[in-house]
Amino acid sequence: MNRPRIRVDHHIPWGIEGFDGLGDVVPYDAADLRKDPSILADADVLACRSVTRVDASLLAAAPRLVAVATPVVGLDHVICEDIRAAQRQRGHPIQVFNAPGSTAAGVADWVVAAILHALPEVTDPHRLKVGIWGFGNCGRALAARLARLGMRFVAYDPPQETRTAGAFQSAALEDLWQCDVVSLHVPLTEARDTRWPTRGMIDRGVFRALASGDVRLLCNSARGPVVEGAALQAHLASGLAPALAVDVWEGEPTPDPSVVAATRIATAHVAGSVLEGRRKAVAKVREDVRRLLHLPRTPFPAQPAGGFDRPPPFAVPPHPRPDDIRGGILAAVPLDEWTRTFRAAYVRAPLAERAEAFEAARRAGLRREIRWGRLRPAD
């Protein structure tokens, strides 16, 4: 391959800087790419965010593509069947690189903030119990923070128990109904791929179980489609507990505005939007591309030259109490402000302007990680 041509979404923080030196970097806007995929005609590498659907139509417009580098956690925007079909047709691999775990700290901070925001009456952390549905990178990061705060938790993840041959022991599903909060941290999976598919797993039956149990808050910072749409609408119409804190939406970047309007906490896919995590994600996929292209190793430091463009936020003290840290955490993760501004810009926006309103709210959520000091790994 001659000098590779790398197309980089210009909204990826440090994306252009990260890929510069690996080839000829050409920035693009995701909205322009949706309108005209032919801008990828000469691309060898595509660096994209989760707003870009990598499917057969996009791949057809990118005949030279050898790699998709997406500095995000999930890959549900990448249609693996279409990648495999394109590989068979072209006779060469198309590598897909992502960055699992890179933004787990930010996601966990968002959930802690949602708990403190939605349940202000909880002053004794030992009285609060959180059910963590999915115990991967984000679930474990949340558990470590809850343990630091003195909050109890149970973790439900049968696939993890199977993968670890029982080294991790999952709680029973019914144990979640006895929690005050349930937080979702699962990938989006299909019935054809696993015994435990997550698409639509929060259905009417689950909502009934949540409402009949002790659950007062359901947090979704995983993927929008893990909650079945009709069941969500019915739950919101019922007015029953639990309240909803939602950061990810079915149909992004144009979710149903009535759902955005009705949830207790509504943010535009910002939970993982932390500068430290974004840079780690770019560094990870950049290194993957460098190895693929057999280029010399070049440094990409954990912080940009001169540091990040804003100071670190609140630092959690060694022995925190909810009343002592609530203000600091909610200043660092301002859910009330984000909810108001997202709704104001999105709910009444004309259909043609909703995607941009969603993207603007998402960009506004970029922040620093909360400083927790040394956290003990969750069991």
Residues with a known catalytic role: 223, 252, 269
Whole-angstrom distance, CA of residue 55 vs CA of residue 33: 13
Instruction: Say what angle helices 104-118 and 322-332 make with each other, to 10 degrees.
Output: 120
Both structure tokens of 263: 């949830």
Residue 377 DSSP SS3? coil
- What secondary structure does DSSP assign to 307-332, as a single string? --SS----B--SS--HHHHHHHHHHH
Dist CA 67 CA 308 (whole Å): 29
DSSP state, 225? Answer: G
Q: d(Cα 265, Cα 216) in Å, to the nearest integer?
A: 13
Cis ω before 4 (30° cut-off from 0)? no
CA geometry: angle at 335 spanning 334 and 339, to 5°? 125
Q: Which helix (H) or strand (E) holds 182?
A: strand 181-184
Instruction: Identify the burial level of 65 via C-beta atoms within 10 angstroms of its C-beta, where 0-12 means exposed, 13-18 middle and 19 or more buried.
Output: buried
3-state secondary structure 88-152: HHHCCCCEEECCCCCCHHHHHHHHHHHHHHHCCCCCCHHHCEEEEECCCHHHHHHHHHHHHHCCE
Alpha carbon 104 to its chain centroid, in Å, reads 8
Of 53, 69, 59, 78, nearest in space to 7 by CA: 69
Helical (H) or strand (E) element with 184: strand 181-184
> If we measure between CA atoms, which residue out of 21, 24, 134, 7 comes closest to residue 70?
7
Asked whether 291 and 100 are in contact (CB, 8 A), the reply is no
